Structure formats: structure tokens, C-alpha cells
């Protein structure tokens, strides 16, 4: 897997993580899927997130990237989630900032993601 491919794959996954958290709320009005498919996808993505968490629990670079991600997400929340004057525009900006934060995170951890993807494909005999 090339480095560009690793960054792209990591971005797709972490963008999906952001979308599952808040982004899906920004796309109101789209067609609902069959509940079985939705539940199966949820379990699938949760499994990958759990595997990533286990794989990177002792990795210092990922720990630092996680801290930066949490900090940026908190700052975005503080900036756009004022309960007294929340608007749809602020919410969309908030979601865009979350997506950007997850994209930046993906670029930071791309090399670890590359090793993770390679190790997950290995079959143990």
C-alpha cells in the first residue's frame, strides 16, 4: 500500500467516524435504509474502531494525535455550539470543522494505519 493510498484509506475511515458522530445529522432528509443494513454497518464500523483502538493502545504517536483531535473537537464545540444562539449555519460549520480535524488526524496516523491495514489482512495459520 503506497503512502498516498494509506492517507486516503485513513481519511475515509476517520471521516466515517466523524460522520457517524455528528455529520449524519447535517444531511437531514435523505432516505432511510433498511434497519438490518444500518445495524450491520454500525457493528462493522464499531469493530474496526475497536480493532484500531487495541492495535494502537501503546503507540505514542497515535496517543498524541488522539489528544490533538480531542482538543480540536472540543474547541470546535466551544466555538459553534453556543446553546443560546445555535443556527443551522453554525452546525454545518461545526461538522465541517470536525471532518477537517479527522482528515488531519488521518494524515498524522497514516503510517500506523498502513501497518494496521496490512496486519489485519494477514491470515494466521
Give me 91's grid cell.
Answer: 452546525
Q: How many Å apart are CA 49 and CA 47, to the nearest integer?
A: 5
pTM of the model: 0.71
pLDDT higher than threshold 80 for residue 120 = yes
In this predicted structure, what is the pLDDT of residue 33? Answer: 62
The residue ranges of every structural domain in the chain are 3-121
Which is higher by pLDDT, 91 or 108?
Answer: 108
Q: How many Å apart are CA 31 and CA 23, to the nearest integer?
A: 15
Mean pLDDT of the chain: 81
**pLDDT (tens digit per residue) in 14-68:** 777 776 665 555 554 445 567 787 788 788 888 999 999 999 999 999 999 999 9
**Residues 6 or more apart in contact with residue 25 via CB below 8 angstroms:** 91, 95
Q: Kindly report the length of the chain.
A: 125
Element (H, E) at 27: none
**Range 94-104 average pLDDT:** 89
Amino acid at each position: 500500500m503506497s503512502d498516498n493510498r494509506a492517507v486516503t484509506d485513513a481519511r475515509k475511515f476517520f471521516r466515517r467516524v466523524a460522520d457517524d458522530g455528528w455529520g449524519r445529522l447535517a444531511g437531514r432528509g435523505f432516505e432511510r435504509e433498511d434497519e438490518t443494513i444500518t445495524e450491520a454497518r454500525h457493528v462493522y464500523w464499531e469493530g474496526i474502531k475497536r480493532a484500531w483502538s487495541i492495535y494502537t493502545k501503546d503507540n505514542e504517536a497515535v496517543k498524541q494525535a488522539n489528544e490533538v483531535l480531542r482538543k480540536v473537537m472540543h474547541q470546535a464545540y466551544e466555538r459553534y455550539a453556543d446553546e443560546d444562539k445555535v443556527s443551522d449555519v453554525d452546525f454545518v460549520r461545526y461538522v465541517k470543522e470536525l471532518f477537517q480535524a479527522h482528515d488531519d488526524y488521518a494524515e498524522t496516523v497514516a503510517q500506523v494505519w498502513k501497518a494496521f491495514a496490512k496486519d489485519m489482512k494477514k491470515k494466521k495459520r
